[in-house]
């Protein structure tokens, strides 16, 4: 039987593939925003018995991951880099292939972990692992600094999935602290990117090699 | 009510963003003094936390807190002098960020909950980013982006590690708060597989922040591009905060009987860092980067000592304290040199002994201290680590350790002699403000005194902290 949560997680996996194939930054930001929305509504569908606090927290996550973070990044690049390419080190077709391999590998290794709660949601662990690896992949295989920041966000989404899916111990106040840290981090990165935009007219990190050793 | 120690600088930091320049500087020093006083009170009284689930006073936390507090106070005195000389455009942001940075670091030392620890460590990254970006040049932009991005990604892995440890509780069927102290008690009931995985991720994550090779790439850039007082804080105490996260997790590993596993990984990362530092120190052209690589070396030494355990773990904690004292004094002196010569290149400096005699005394003694010479405490720490390594049968590790230290000493000496005595940049004597020399002397003197005489309560605290990781003396 297909559970609603599996449909949602399938959408997350789809967003990973689309993000690997996106060549333009605005498109990539939209995909990551979509992914943020979808990832943050997962707790509604894996019944840990939602409390009022849980609902409020989930909505806050949705607001921050799905709307606030993408908007900040979009505003940071708006002036100069609007149609810029993500400048891949690994080409798009190869990236898509790598994405598929990642998913297969994640699905293959997941059952071996033997987790108590993963029985009900067959896709949860594979999706989380895929997101983590996909974030890492974007960080390494794209030369553009904004694409790297987006890779970091994808990775964070993966960790969030691991956290919500498997451990129910932490309190919402703590989770909210984590969320605020992530938000503040992305905001600072956006501010720096904006300044880099003005200083270099380009956010290609290949140009930023003066400190390299 | 231990929370007040980090709430005070947070409040004054928020205030400093709105205050005019002179009062901002006074506020900085004043907060430093109050913070030191509060930390000493905390040391003497050891009160309970208001939110006991999240915060607690631990021996290792107290130790770090005291170091942070003392260093910040002395650095804040230096900073008032520095701000008058150096032309910093956004001074309010600088002082405000310094104070918020102090608050977040204090929070790291007091947090007991694994996730709160993570929140605090990530917050230190965010609070220190504006400090590195102070000069607003293209190079500082790059250094800040590198710092925030690499550290955030690294620390994200530590978050995953923390989640995995929570998972090891689920799998092991343990029901206690996700706090370091509570977990150390029930450690042998945690699921070992997930605990190991959690430790590896936490080590890689916080290791990135601590500057362990090969995740150290951001460190030389950030530490050399930041203004010198900020570099002193970053190098002197921020690295300790990240180490604290690893130390506490390592404690759980030892309690769970997995000390051998965690120790081996720590030894490998530690030796890798020492080797990387040895390679890069030889060919360095900038003196602030030289100091940054020396920090990587010392973090490697500390990780190595912690991994070996026993007497070496005691040595590692000694190294931690003395590295903070000596390295921050060196960074402050490098600030004077930068202001005096106007260049970060070693080749542009020279004749330090004649042009800046007071700074020379601080810089040269700092160099002797950081190279592990006897009157300073780092010597004792390194000797203990070596004895511990030989006792534990880590002969290869100890060999690599000794050879690398010799190489580092040779490279360091070469650069420092050139800076101090060569006639390359001979000129008139540069004026040195007392406020910008005495803090270094105070730091070095503290290290000197602590080498010969450790107060009983401090000794007890160190022994108590290392006992849990097999540190029987």
CA dihedral sign of residues B29, B33, B38, B39? positive
Q: What is the pLDDT of residues A175-186, one digit of tens each?
A: 788 888 888 888
- pLDDT value at residue A36: 93
A58-62, B303-307, B469-473 — most confident range: B303-307
Q: What is the pLDDT of residues B242-274, one digit of tens each?
A: 999 999 999 999 999 898 999 999 999 999 999
> Using 50, 70 and 90 to split pLDDT, how confident is the model at A174?
confident
CA B204 centroid distance within chain: 17
Look at A192 and B139 and tell me if their CB atoms are within 8 Å: no
Provide the shortest C-alpha distance from residue B147 to chain A (in Å).
10
Look at A188 and B148 and tell me if their CB atoms are within 8 Å: yes
Give yes or no for residue B468 having a pLDDT over 80.
Answer: no
Q: What is the pLDDT of residues B297-311, one digit of tens each?
A: 999 999 999 999 888
pTM of the model: 0.93
DSSP 8-state assignment for residue B345: B
Nearest CA in chain A to B121: A181
Element housing A188 (H / E): helix A172-200
Q: What is the pLDDT of residues B152-208, one digit of tens each?
A: 999 999 999 998 888 888 888 888 888 898 898 898 888 898 899 999 999 999 999
Look at B123 and A181 and tell me if their CB atoms are within 8 Å: yes
Give yes or no for residue A207 having a pLDDT over 50.
Answer: no
> Using 50, 70 and 90 to split pLDDT, how confident is the model at A83?
low
Q: Taking Cα atoms as reference points, which of B41, B88, B89, B49 lies closest to residue B66?
A: B41
Element housing B92 (H / E): helix B91-110
- CB < 8 Å to A211, chain B: 139, 142-143, 146, 221, 225
B152 phi/psi in degrees, rounded to 5: -65, -45
Tell me how far apart the alpha carbons of residues B419 and B319 are, in angstroms, rounded to a whole number. 26
- pLDDT value at residue A169: 59
Look at B116 and A177 and tell me if their CB atoms are within 8 Å: yes
Q: Which residue has better confidence, A163 or B58?
A: B58
Look at A211 and B139 and tell me if their CB atoms are within 8 Å: yes
Average pLDDT over residues B236-241: 93
- pLDDT value at residue A109: 87
Query: Which range (B103-117, B136-150, B425-439) has the least confidence?
Result: B425-439
- pLDDT value at residue A19: 92
Tell me how far apart the alpha carbons of residues B200 and B246 are, in angstroms, rounded to a whole number. 10
Calculate the dihedral angle through the C-alpha atoms of B360, B361, B365, B367, rounding to the nearest 10 degrees: 0
Element housing A170 (H / E): none
Average pLDDT over residues A194-208: 62
With tokens 């929370």, the residue in question is B3
Closest CB from B122, B153, B225 relative to A155: B153
- pLDDT value at residue A74: 87
Total beta-carbon pairs less than 8 A apart between chain A and chain B? 103
Nearest CA in chain A to B143: A211
Tell me how far apart the alpha carbons of residues A68 and A60 are, in angstroms, rounded to a whole number. 10
With tokens 């090891």, the residue in question is B168
- pLDDT value at residue B209: 93
A79 phi/psi in degrees, rounded to 5: -65, -50
The token pair at A15 is 């967003």
**Other C-beta atoms within 10 Å of A59: how many?**
13
Q: Taking Cα atoms as reference points, which of A135, A38, A32 lies closest to residue A77?
A: A32
- pLDDT value at residue B161: 93
Helices (H), ranges, B133-191: 138-172, 180-185
Provide the shortest C-alpha distance from residue B160 to chain A (in Å).
6
**Averaged pLDDT of chain A:** 82
Look at A117 and B142 and tell me if their CB atoms are within 8 Å: no
DSSP 8-state assignment for residue A116: S
Rg over alpha carbons for chain B, rounded to the nearest Å, is: 21
- CB < 8 Å to A139, chain B: 153
Q: What is the pLDDT of residues A120-169, one digit of tens each?
A: 577 888 899 999 999 999 998 888 888 889 999 999 999 888 887 766 55
- pLDDT value at residue A200: 65
Average pLDDT over residues B5-11: 92
- pLDDT value at residue A81: 55
- pLDDT value at residue B137: 84
- pLDDT value at residue A54: 79
Closest CB from A167, A178, A193 relative to B167: A167
Nearest CA in chain A to B144: A192
Contact B21, B91 (CB under 8 A): yes
Q: Which residues contact B38 (CB under 8 A, 6 or more apart)?
A: B4, B5, B8, B69
Look at B163 and A156 and tell me if their CB atoms are within 8 Å: no
Tell me how far apart the alpha carbons of residues B108 and B123 are, in angstroms, rounded to a whole number. 9
CA A99 centroid distance within chain: 14
Chain A residues within 8 angstroms (CB to CB) of chain B: 115-117, 132, 139, 145, 148-149, 152, 155-156, 159, 162-163, 166-167, 169-170, 174-175, 177-178, 181, 184-185, 188-189, 192-193, 195-196, 199-200, 208, 210-211, 213
- pLDDT value at residue A80: 60
Query: Which of A151, A169, A176 to mutate: most B Cβ within 10 Å?
Result: A169
Q: What is the pLDDT of residues B405-458, one digit of tens each?
A: 999 999 999 999 999 888 877 777 888 888 899 999 999 999 999 988 888 888
Contact A148, A142 (CB under 8 A): yes
Q: What is the pLDDT of residues B345-354, one digit of tens each?
A: 988 888 888 8
- pLDDT value at residue A188: 87
Average pLDDT over residues B147-155: 92
Question: What is the per-residue DSSP string for B297-324?
Answer: HHHHHHHHHHHH-THHHHHHHHHHHHHH
Provide the shortest C-alpha distance from residue B149 to chain A (in Å).
7
């Amino acid at each position: 039987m297909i559970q609603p949560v599996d449909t949602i997680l399938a959408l997350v996996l789809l967003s990973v593939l689309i993000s690997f194939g996106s060549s333009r930054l605005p498109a990539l930001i939209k995909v990551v925003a979509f992914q943020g929305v979808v990832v943050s509504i997962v707790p509604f569908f894996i019944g840990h018995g939602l409390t009022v606090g849980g609902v409020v927290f989930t909505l806050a996550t949705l607001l921050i991951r799905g709307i606030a973070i993408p908007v900040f990044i979009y505003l940071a690049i708006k002036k100069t880099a609007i149609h810029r390419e993500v400048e891949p080190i690994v080409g798009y077709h190869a990236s898509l292939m790598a994405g598929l391999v990642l998913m297969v590998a994640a699905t293959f290794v997941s059952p071996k972990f033997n987790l108590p709660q993963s029985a009900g949601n067959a896709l949860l662990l594979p999706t989380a692992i895929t997101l983590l690896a996909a974030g890492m992949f974007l960080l390494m295989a794209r030369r553009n600094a904004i694409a790297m920041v987006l890779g970091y966000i994808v990775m964070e989404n993966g960790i969030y999935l691991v956290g919500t899916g498997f451990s129910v111990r932490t309190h919402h106040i703590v989770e909210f602290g984590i969320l605020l840290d992530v938000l503040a981090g992305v905001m600072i990165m956006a501010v720096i990117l904006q300044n880099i935009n003005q200083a270099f007219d380009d956010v290609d990190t290949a140009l930023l090699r003066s400190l390299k050793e | 009510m231990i929370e007040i120690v980090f709430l005070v600088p947070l409040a004054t930091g928020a205030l400093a963003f709105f205050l005019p320049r002179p009062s901002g500087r006074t506020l900085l020093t004043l907060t430093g003094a109050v913070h030191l006083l509060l930390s000493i009170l905390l040391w003497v009284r050891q009160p309970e936390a208001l939110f006991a689930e999240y915060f607690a006073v631990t021996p290792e936390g107290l130790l770090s807190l005291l170091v942070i507090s003392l260093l910040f106070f002395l650095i804040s005195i230096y900073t008032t002098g520095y701000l008058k000389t150096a032309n910093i455009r956004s001074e309010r942001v600088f002082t405000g960020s310094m104070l918020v940075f102090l608050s977040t670091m204090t929070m790291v030392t007091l947090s007991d909950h694994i996730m709160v620890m993570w929140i605090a460590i990530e917050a230190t990254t965010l609070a220190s980013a504006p400090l590195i970006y102070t000069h607003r040049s293209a190079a500082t932009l790059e250094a800040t982006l590198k710092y925030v991005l690499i550290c955030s990604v690294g620390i994200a892995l530590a978050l995953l590690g923390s989640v995995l440890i929570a998972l090891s509780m689920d799998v092991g069927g343990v029901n206690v708060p996700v706090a370091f102290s509570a977990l150390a008690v029930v450690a042998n009931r945690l699921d070992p597989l997930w605990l190991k995985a959690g430790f590896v991720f936490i080590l890689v994550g916080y290791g990135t922040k601590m500057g362990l090779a090969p995740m150290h790439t951001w460190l030389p850039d950030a530490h050399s591009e930041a203004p010198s007082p900020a570099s002193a804080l970053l190098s002197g105490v921020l690295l300790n905060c990240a180490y604290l996260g690893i130390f506490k997790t390592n404690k759980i590993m030892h309690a769970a009987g997995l000390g051998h596993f965690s120790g081996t990984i720590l030894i490998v990362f530690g030796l890798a860092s020492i080797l990387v530092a040895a390679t890069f120190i030889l060919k360095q052209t900038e003196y602030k980067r030289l100091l940054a690589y020396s920090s990587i070396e010392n973090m490697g030494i500390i990780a190595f000592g912690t991994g070996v355990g026993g007497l070496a773990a005691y040595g590692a904690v000694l190294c931690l304290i003395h590295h903070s004292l000596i390295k921050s004094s060196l960074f402050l002196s490098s600030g004077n040199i930068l202001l005096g010569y106007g260049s970060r290149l070693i080749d542009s400096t020279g004749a330090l002994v004649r042009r800046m005699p007071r700074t020379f005394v601080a810089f040269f003694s700092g160099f002797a201290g950081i190279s592990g010479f006897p009157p300073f405490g780092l010597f004792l720490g390194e000797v203990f680590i070596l004895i511990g390594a030989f006792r534990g049968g880590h002969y290869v590790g100890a060999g690599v350790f000794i050879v690398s230290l010799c190489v580092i000493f040779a490279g360091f000496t070469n650069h420092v002699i050139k800076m101090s005595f060569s006639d390359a940049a001979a000129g008139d004597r540069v004026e040195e403000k007392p406020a910008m020399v005495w803090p270094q002397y105070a730091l070095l003197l503290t290290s000197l005194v602590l080498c010969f005489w450790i107060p009983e309560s401090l000794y007890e605290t160190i022994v108590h902290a290392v006992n849990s990781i097999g540190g029987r003396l």
